[in-house]
């Protein structure tokens, strides 16, 4: 905002004049001119104990402010480095992301599942592709989906009982490997038809909240909603625990979540993740061609690397830290000049007082 920036600049300029420039200019005025203006009142003030205490107090305040500003500047720099090194729960290097949407008509669950399987086979055959997978939501996506669940009927409502909210993602068997995340179990295939359960992988935060001190693998979720093309309430059978991957605002507290296989709940809005052994941008044209061969009406869009996504979501925080760091640096310089000016001002006038006396 131009008005805010202008106001800040004006206040800074006035501050500089008041605590720095005027004392410096006063100190470097010609000695004869200062001696003439000093006069008897100056001699009296120089020798006054009150004036000496005032100068000592002013110098102490300047030194204290300089110390505070210096500490703040160091903390801002440390915060900036922390933001740059936030652990988002996955390895973004070499990962390309693209999106495509299935039309409302023409794709039900089985057709979507067949399309995703075929697309992954086509993309996997492209030179330079190390792994690829389909996902409903991408990491660091503020619009990541959620679902309603009942973990256990004995738990309080909203805290594991009825009406509990969970982060939700439908992914393929290579999702975690593509993101460089270690998970003991790979999601794939369909749920157990004998019991009607869906295999799920829960996040560490979900395990901590709902199964504290216990191994959640082998436990069950009473029921949860499959919000994709399946659109049904199912019982969940926990087959693994995944690290907490960041889907919301960077640095925010992890929230409980579940992963299911896209074979059990194909999403209508899908994302394609591709791990490349070379430059990710070079494999975008062959990936688009592969999708056109399967369905010419579908269009891949929003092609970005995961590194670009990381930079985008952290840009606001990094910009704020840079601005605050810049102001802290300016304030530090002003404080240092002010300390020098006050001390030099007092020393020069003491000298003049001695000369006039």
Residues forming a β-bridge with 334: none
Residue 240 vs residue 39, higher pLDDT: 240
pLDDT above 60 for 44:
no
Residue 141 confidence (pLDDT): 82
pTM score, two decimals? 0.70
Largest CA distance in the chain: 106
Residue 226 confidence (pLDDT): 95
Comparing CA positions, the residue from 126, 70, 58 lying closest to residue 96 is 126
Residue 295 confidence (pLDDT): 94
pLDDT, one tens digit per residue, over 118-174 is 999 999 999 999 999 999 999 988 777 899 999 999 999 999 999 999 999 999 999
Phi, psi of 124 (to 5 degrees): -65, -25
pLDDT, one tens digit per residue, over 247-263 is 877 777 889 999 999 99
Token pair for 39: 């006069």
Structural contact between residues 199 and 239, judged by C-beta atoms closer than 8 angstroms: yes
d(CA 113, CA 111): 5
Structural contact between residues 205 and 244, judged by C-beta atoms closer than 8 angstroms: yes
What is residue 285's three-state secondary structure?
helix
């Amino acid at each position: 905002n131009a008005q805010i920036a202008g106001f800040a600049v004006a206040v800074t300029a006035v501050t500089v004049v008041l605590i720095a420039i005027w004392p410096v200019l006063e100190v470097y005025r010609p000695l004869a001119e200062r001696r003439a203006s000093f006069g008897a009142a100056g001699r009296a003030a120089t020798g006054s104990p009150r004036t000496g205490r005032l100068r000592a107090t002013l110098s102490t305040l300047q030194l204290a402010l300089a110390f505070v500003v210096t500490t703040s500047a160091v903390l801002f720099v440390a915060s900036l480095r922390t933001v740059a090194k936030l652990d988002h729960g996955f390895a973004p290097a070499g990962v390309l992301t693209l999106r495509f949407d299935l039309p409302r008509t023409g794709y039900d669950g089985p057709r979507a599942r067949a399309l995703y399987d075929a697309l992954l086979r086509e993309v996997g055959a492209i030179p330079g592709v190390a792994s690829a997978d389909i996902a409903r939501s991408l990491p660091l996506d503020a619009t990541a989906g959620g679902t309603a669940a009942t973990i256990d009927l004995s738990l309080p409502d909203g805290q594991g009982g009825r009406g509990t909210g969970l982060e939700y993602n439908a992914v393929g068997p290579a999702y975690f490997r593509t993101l460089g995340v270690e998970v003991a179990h790979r999601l794939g295939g369909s749920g157990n038809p004998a019991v009607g359960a869906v295999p799920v992988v829960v996040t560490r935060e979900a395990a901590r909240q709902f199964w504290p001190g216990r191994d959640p693998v082998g436990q069950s979720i009473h029921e949860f909603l499959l919000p994709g093309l399946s659109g049904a309430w199912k019982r969940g059978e926990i087959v693994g625990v995944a690290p907490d991957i960041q889907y919301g605002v960077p640095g925010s507290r992890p929230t409980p979540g579940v992963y299911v296989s896209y074979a059990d709940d194909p999403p209508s809005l899908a994302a394609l993740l591709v791990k490349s052994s070379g430059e990710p941008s070079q494999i975008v044209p062959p990936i688009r061609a592969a999708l056109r061969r399967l369905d010419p009406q579908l269009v891949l869009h929003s092609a970005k690397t995961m590194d670009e996504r990381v930079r985008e979501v952290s840009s606001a925080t990094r910009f704020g830290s840079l601005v605050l760091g810049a102001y802290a640096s300016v304030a530090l310089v002003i404080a240092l000049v002010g300390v020098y000016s006050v001390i030099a001002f007092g020393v020069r006038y003491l000298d003049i007082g001695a000369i006039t006396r």
